[in-house]
Amino acid sequence: MKTEMYGYVRVSSKDQCEARQVLALREFEVPERNIYMDKMSGKDFNRPQYRRMVRRLKAGDVLVVKSIDRLGRNY
């Protein structure tokens, strides 16, 4: 089974800029096709791209986030 690298970006509102997080994932060499992004609150995990990403993750895959709070407030 091949190990894949994934990245997740989240900003809380439509006005916030995700550029710093995306840049960090690119520097970590996360493939563009494996970067998932939501522009919504981190109060829960009912976010479309987060859920889509989690369904793709397999044992041994690597998930990269700029900061643990980008996954969610209570992670």
- Domain ranges within the chain, ordered by starting residue: 5-63
Instruction: Give which of 6, 15, 4 is closest to 49, Cα–Cα.
Output: 6
HSE of 75, CA atoms in CB hemisphere, 13 A: 11
Annotated active-site residue 12? The verdict is yes
Catalytic, out of 12, 13, 41, 67: 12
- Tens of pLDDT along the chain (75 residues) come to 789 999 999 998 777 889 999 999 999 999 999 999 999 888 888 899 999 999 999 999 999 999 888 887 665
